[in-house]
Amino acid sequence: MKFSAAVATLFLASATAFAPSAFTAKPTTALQGFSSKVFETQEVSFADTKETIVKGGRDLFPLLPKAFEGIERIGVIGWGSQAPAQAQNLKDSLAECGADIKVTIGLREGSSSWEQAKEVGFSEDEETLGEMFDVISKSDLVVLLISDAAQAKLYKEIFEAMKPGATLGLSHGFLLGHLDSIGEKFPEDMDVIAVCPKGMGPSVRRLYEQGKEVNGAGINSSFGVHQDVSGKATDLALGWGIALGSPFMFETTLRSEYKSDIYGERGILLGAVHGIVESLYRRYQRQGMSPEQAFLESSESITGNIVKIISTQGIKAVYDSLNDEDKVTFQTAYSASYKPAKEILQEIYDEVSSGNEIRTVIMHGARLDRYPVGKIDGTDTWKVGEKVRAERDEENIPLNPFTAGVYVATMMAQIDVLLEEGHPYSEVVNESVIEAVDSLCPYMHYRGVAFMVDNCSFTAKTGSRKWAPRFDYILDQLAYTAVDNGAAINEELIADFEKHTVHQAVEECCKLRPAVDISLFAETSTKEIVIQ
């Protein structure tokens, strides 16, 4: 089976263009555009605003030696979700363009991942696999992809091990968030860049491999230059992203990225969808459905139908596809769910931006020896889900209008919180729409929401387990009771939804889909699906 991977998320408008009556947005993250000495940049306009992007593709691989000028060794540190994909993609791309750059994996001594790295072609004999601090000390570009908790614990030793003039590369802003929370900074004498694929590691690798036959297939990435001492940081970051196979690269800041990313995975990407499914599964059974039908109308409706429409046609297309009676049901669910969901989402954003959520992850990590993280896939919801997936008729998955109203209301609430906090549209839509419908939900559809939570990164897992029950509770206690008590449709809220500028941005994204869809039929290993 195949699922869409519409990852053309770059062509999105700045948040300054969005000014609905419901709120006044803060100034957007200051992005002045960027220039490149190596790659051609493009300006894309939406709603009278502009963003600068770089369009990637295998045809640009001959430019990689110039982008990586001065880099003789890239050390990819870790072997979780992103590291296997990024290391292999970098290795393949640099070899294809003839660049004499060695990609080396750095792992802890005795790491259980050592053999896995060897299985895909990295080895001690060729000096492409070694102890992490030794690899760090020899690398010109250190791509730090160990867990967030490990970064927070080891950052001083990592900085000390890096050789003078080396660049620190990150694929997530968590470390900056941690440094912000404790009043520290990166060493001022190094370049610090970020390339953040808008999908989990298996997607990054799978679409790269599929794209070997079709130019421009892959997972888009945001990039940020936090410190540029050498004057070459932008081109190095762009080269890194293109070597990963990103069809498009768009600009962000490391601080904006960690706020939106950590927030997003606690919201509609993982935590919120988990809570929505659990609450609706119970609700539909109370209304007389069988467990199997309740799962179909909740989880399957989201991951197998609603998100496919959003991926190919946009958010509003879900609403527009309904008949008049079902539109009323959607409006009822949307009206009741938007504000309770937004209350939780604003709390999440405040906890992330204040550093509290980052401290929670670090403290949780310190307790793991005493309190290992268990699995959540043993409940009735997910056991029934296994049965439903085994008997699934893909062509007859329902689009439940009440489920759609709850899910879309939560997605829109997440979008509005980010816009109110000043994030640019490119980032907002990535973290609230594209990554949900084109990276995570296809895997949820294939293996289940609980499987996704159980096998995601520690930071995402911590957040999902913490916040999913809050969404479950507030929807059950406030939204569904309001519906059952006959609450009127909020006409102003529905009107704001219908005219929301985000629809224009998402619809334009849908026109810019890559040439291939992600294929998941070969996914068999739990470890392959771990997300970061």
| Contact between 81 and 452 (Cβ < 8 Å) | no
119 in helix, strand or coil? helix
Using alpha carbons, select from 108, 181, 165 the residue that is nearest to residue 352. Answer: 181
Query: Which residues, in sequence order, are CB contacts of 320 under 8 Å at separation 6+?
Result: none
Tokens at 250, concatenated:
């768009």
Tell me the β-bridge partners of 465: none
Where does residue 317 rank: exposed (0-12), middle (13-18), buried (19+ CB within 10 A)?
middle
| Contact between 532 and 463 (Cβ < 8 Å) | no
Using alpha carbons, select from 107, 30, 34, 94 the residue that is nearest to residue 66. Answer: 94
Range list of H helices, 267-296: 271-286, 291-295
Tokens at 57, concatenated:
């593709």
Q: Where is 334: in which H helix or E strand?
A: helix 324-353
Kindly list the distances between the CA atom of residue 261 and the CA atoms of 53, 254, 333, 463, in Å, as whole numbers in the listed order.
20, 10, 27, 11
Tokens at 241, concatenated:
């992203």
Kindly list the distances between the CA atom of residue 122 and the CA atoms of 76, 127, 247, 309, 471, in Å, as whole numbers in the listed order.
11, 8, 26, 41, 43
Q: Which residue has the tokens 């050498």?
A: 230
| Contact between 415 and 310 (Cβ < 8 Å) | no
Tell me the β-bridge partners of 194: 170, 224
Q: If you ran DSSP here, which 8-state letter would residue 484 be given? A: H
In whole angstroms, what is the distance from residue 174 CA to residue 176 CA?
5
Radius of gyration of the chain (CA): 22
Tokens at 396, concatenated:
């007859």
Tell me the β-bridge partners of 107: 131
Query: Which residues, in sequence order, are CB contacts of 34 under 8 Å at separation 6+?
Result: 41, 52, 225, 234, 251
Q: Per the annotation, does 131 bind a ligand?
A: no
Query: Which residues, in sequence order, are CB contacts of 147 under 8 Å at separation 6+?
Result: 78, 80, 365, 457, 458, 459
Q: Is the dihedral of CA 121, 124, 125, 126 positive or negative?
A: positive
Q: Per the annotation, does 326 bind a ligand?
A: no
One of 172, 178, 445, 503 is an active-site residue; which one?
A: 172
Annotated active-site residue 274? The verdict is no
Q: Could you tell me which residues are annotated as the binding site for Mg(2+)?
A: 261, 265
Active site residues: 172
Q: Could you tell me which residues are annotated as the binding site?
A: 261, 265
